[in-house]
Structure 1
């Protein structure tokens, strides 16, 4: 007689658990799905999602300082320095004196930085499309608006 392995419950019974309807759990689970899919999509460009976020803000035309990047992304200044250093080593960005405050530096994209951003943005849009494929365009707009309200 061979021992039988007990069947594990599938995801459906677990969906009835209280945690499956709690906002912190749902946000964390959704974040993991989006983050892992986007990270995989960006791997071919040797970028992480944080690099892409920094590069996107730099390419936005806002001419952010490192301090502004850190505040917006809610990252420690040392993390921002490391991310900008990494992008600068790749030739994607450069630091320039801020014309608004000569004591500060702004971070600006190079031509190759713009090219890298365009490629990465296309990959993250495709990743978002895949992860959100179960939502209608209206639901996607609604989700984006609600997340912006909570995040900012």
Structure 2
């Protein structure tokens, strides 16, 4: 009989769960969670995004995105701006405070990664990251 840890999918689930727990604990003082960080991290790569784009790119339900953006806006980490060429739409953009928060959150992210990947050598960590990218983005190739 195969043991639970012989199932790669289960191991990925457990590591993801542990990663989320550690990351949420690191963010606890700010009142934010990993989902908020994901929105901020994505916005850092753009000049702003429509909420539906955030939903699609992050894989979150559109109603969840509204709540996450509301939370981030209350903390002045993001702002909603009129979308160029469409007065009815609003673009969500990172503020300077959001950029500063993200720098600190990125430090927390590295600490979580260091804790999780502690048993791995730097080369193994790089290989693991490359393999996870291939799994996470199968349509984009290697």
TM-score, structure 2 normalization: 0.88
What is the CA–CA distance in structure 1 between the aligned matches of 2:24 and 2:111, rounded to whole Å? Answer: 12
Aligned residues: 137
Aligned pair 1:55/2:17, yes or no? no
Alignment of 1:24-63 (within 5 A): 24-63=9-48
The structure with more radius of gyration: 1
Give unpaired runs (5+ residues) of structure 2: 138-142
Contact 2:48–2:94 (CA<8 Å) still a contact in 1? no
Give unpaired runs (5+ residues) of structure 1: 1-15
- Residue number in structure 2 paired with 1:151: 136
Per-residue Cα deviation, 1:73-125 (whole angstroms, up to 9, x for no partner): 11100000000000001111101122265443211111111111111111111
- Residue number in structure 2 paired with 1:128: 113
- Residue number in structure 2 paired with 1:109: 94
Cα RMSD (Å): 1.7
- Residue number in structure 1 paired with 2:140: none
Q: Secondary structure at the match of 1:91?
A: coil
- Residue number in structure 1 paired with 2:8: 23
Contact 1:42–1:124 (CA<8 Å) still a contact in 2? no
TM-score, structure 1 normalization: 0.82
